[in-house]
Amino acid sequence: MSVPTTATHQGLPVGKLSAYLDWVQMLTGAALILFMWSHLILVSSILLGPRVMNGLAWFFEATYMAQVGGPLVFLAFLVHFALAARKIPFATREQRVMLANAKRMRHPDTWLWIVQATTAMGILIMGGIHMWVILTNLPITAEKSAARIQTGFWFVFYLFLLPMVELHVGIGFYRILVKWGFLDRSGRWAIKKKENLLTALFIAVGLLSLLRYYFLPLQ
C-alpha cells in the first residue's frame, strides 16, 4: 500500500505556504490601506492652505519619515502586487471564464474582486510612476505639487489614478474584513454601505484637493 504524500515547496507543504503568503498579502494590503488614508490627509491639507500642507510635509522630511518610509511603502507595494498576482487571471481565456462565472453567479462580492483586480493593473503602472516622481524630487511642497498638476497632463493623470486607488483600497478593506473573519455574513451589507460612503468621501476630498492645486497661484 502506498503512503499518500503531501506536495511541498522549499520544505513547506503547499497549503501551508499558500496560507503564509496570503497572510503576508493581507498585512501588506492593510499597511498600504493605512498609508493611502494617511496620504490623503497630507494631500488634502492643501484645502487648509499651502502653509499647512508645507508644515506637514516638513515634519515628514525632518523626521526622515519620507526618506525612509517612501522606499518601504514602494517595497510593500511591489510585494503586495506580486502576491496578489498569484490569483489574477492574465490570459485572455482565463479572463473570459472569470467574467462568464461572475455573470452566472450574480454575486456582488465576485464583481468587487473583479473591480479590485482590474484597478490593480492601473495602480501598478500609474502608482509606480507617481511614487518615482515624488521620491526623486524631494522635498515635497505645495508649490511643487501645484506646478506639476498645473501642467495639464498630471491633472488628467490624477483624475484617473484617484478613483482607481480609492476603489481598490475600499474594496480591499472590505475583503480583508470578510476573508479573515472580522465580519460575518449578516454584517456585510451595513459595512459595505459605510465603506461605499467612505470611498465616495475620499474621492470627493481628493477631487477638491486636485482643483485646489490646479488653481493655486504660483509665484
Q: Is residue 53 part of a domain?
A: yes
Does the annotation list 107 as a binding residue? no
Does the annotation list 39 as a binding residue? yes
Q: Is residue 219 part of a domain?
A: no
CA distance 154 to 156: 5
Does the annotation list 9 as a binding residue? no
Mean pLDDT of 56-60: 84
CATH number at residue 132: 1.20.1300.10
CA distance 46 to 119: 26
Contact 177, 109 (CB under 8 A): no
Q: Is residue 5 part of a domain?
A: no
> Interior CA angle at 144 toward 139 and 149, to 5°?
135
| Per-residue pLDDT at 3 | 46
pTM here is 0.74
Q: Is residue 99 part of a domain?
A: yes
Q: Is residue 172 part of a domain?
A: yes
- Cell numbers 474594496: residue: 171
Q: Is residue 40 part of a domain?
A: yes
- Backbone region of residue 13 per phi and psi (left: phi > 0; alpha: psi in -120 to 50; beta: other values): beta
Q: Which helix (H) or strand (E) holds 126?
A: helix 108-135
CA atoms within 13 A on the CB side of 84: 25
Domain extent at residue 67 = 12-214
Mean pLDDT of 122-135: 84
CA distance 59 to 53: 10
Asked whether the predicted pLDDT for residue 59 surpasses 70, the reply is yes
| Per-residue pLDDT at 130 | 87
Mean pLDDT of 137-158: 86
Q: Structurally, how many domains does the chain consist of?
A: 1
Q: Is residue 136 part of a domain?
A: yes
Q: Is residue 155 part of a domain?
A: yes
CA distance 105 to 108: 9
